[in-house]
Structures are given as C-alpha cells and as structure tokens.
Structure 1
Amino acid sequence: ERIGDRIAPLVGAAAGQIVVGDSTSVNVFKAVVAAARIAGGGRDEILVDATTFPTDGYIAASAARLTGHRIVPVAPADVPAALGPRTAAVLLNHVDYRSGRLHDLPGLTAAVHAAGAVVVWDLCHSAGALPVGLDEHGVDLAVGCTY
C-alpha cells in the first residue's frame, strides 16, 4: 500500500487507489476479466487495440475465452465508431509501443463510458514519463509497470 501511494501522484490517482502486484501480464488479465464481468447486461464483446503490444492481445483473447466474450481488434482512432450495446470492455495502450504515439486517453475514456462499457488502459509506456490523469479522466482500470 505504501508503494502504491507513492506511485499514485505519477499517474494522477489518489492515495489508496494503486496496488503494486504481480506481473503486468497477470494484472492486465485480471483487469480485462473484471471489466468484462462488471459490464454485464448481455454485453459480449471486448474491444482491443489492434496495434497493441502483442502480449496484451494474447491476454485479451484469453480473457475473452474465459468470460465467453468475443474479441474485436480495433485501431484506437476507430474505437468510438466500434462501440455499441454489445461492448463490455475496451483494452487500450496509452502509448503505441512501436511509434511512441500518444493515444487520446481522455477522449477515448469518455467515448467508452458513453457507450456503457468499462475501459482498461495499459500505461506501461507512459506511467511516470507522461501526464496520465487517471482520476481527472475517470479511468476505470489501468495497469502499468516500473521499467
């Protein structure tokens, strides 16, 4: 808890909201499964960044199999148009690991929420290096690492 509280200001979260745990992969899996289950209500799709770090794609596919959801790869810019009544969860990377492109965390989070879905952000390439603003932008779940 103390370490999480020290990390919280780096990502714009309040004390008590950050947990330091197992590996990034394990926590992305936990977050996507939780997001899919939280959404409920006949929502059976998990949208995943089509350009995601490969491990995130494999993890999202595993979470979809476990929860009985369908995985839908979508370019981040196309997420708002792809959202619908079947969308349960959306897994996005804040920064494209190949190019360094910063995705629109505030705008995409708002679009996901407007569709009634839950968003999970992978902050591995931004936490501690760029402003994130988890609380400011109402992010549901996020996973990062310390490298």
Structure 2
Amino acid sequence: MAQKPSLKTRALGYLARREHSRLELERKLAPHAQTSEELSSVLDALEQRGFLSAARMVEHVIHVRRMKFGSLRIMHELREKGIAENLIAEALPNIRETEQDSAREVWRKRFGGMPANAKELGRQTRFLMGRGFRAEVIHQVLRQSVEDEP
C-alpha cells in the first residue's frame, strides 16, 4: 500500500502549480490534516520560509487578471481568497492606474464600435460592469469612443 504524502508535501505541490493564499491552502489541506494545529504549523512554516506569501499572491492575481477585469472584480477575488484588506488597499492604486486602458481594450475586443441605440448602450455597459469595471471608467470609455468616431 502506497504511503500518503505529508501535508507539507501536498502544500508544496499545490504551491508549485500556482500561487495560493493561506486560506486556499487551508481549505485544500484540511481534509488531509489530523488536527487543526498540525495544519496551522505547516502553513506557518511555509510562510516563514517564504513559500507562502500573501503579497506575492496579490501580485499574481493582479498580473493575471488586470487586462480582462476591473478593480472591483479583482478586489472581490482577493477578498474571496482571504487576502488582508491592508494588502488589497496597497494594491488598489496600482490596479486603478491602468483600469481605463484595460476597459477600453476589453470593450474594443468585444464590441469594436459605438452602440447604435440605448438598448445596445445598456448591453455594453452591463458587460463592462460584469467584468468589474467601475461606472466612471465605463462612462469615460464609452464617451471617449464617441469622440474618437469620425
């Protein structure tokens, strides 16, 4: 009978595939842990050695999501992953810095042209809102697109 991998081995395997937050790893490893103290000590050891980092997780999520999603969606995803509010607040200016360019690019790829009527305007607005872009960014993207048209 094959020996089951230790919690540390499982955790390192998960971290080798992609960055995880402490909460995500805790959820994945909980069924395999004998006690919650054992799980906490493994996660603490990984954090101390630098294998598990909330700051690196924030950078990873922002890097991956920035060109497709807005700040609201990214912040929500970080909260769902159990990232501390202070780390999210530190990253927010960095996300919002390029949010309008991202929204314009997402809009251009999806629609390519200005809405012909109010129904189409609502559809485009809802699409961008669903992607997590703020209302003022959406308004600027659609207004600037009107100004750019001949």
Q: Using structure 2 for the length normalisation, give the TM-score.
A: 0.28
Q: Which has the higher contact order (CA 8 A, sep 6+)?
A: 1
Structure with more strand by fraction:
1
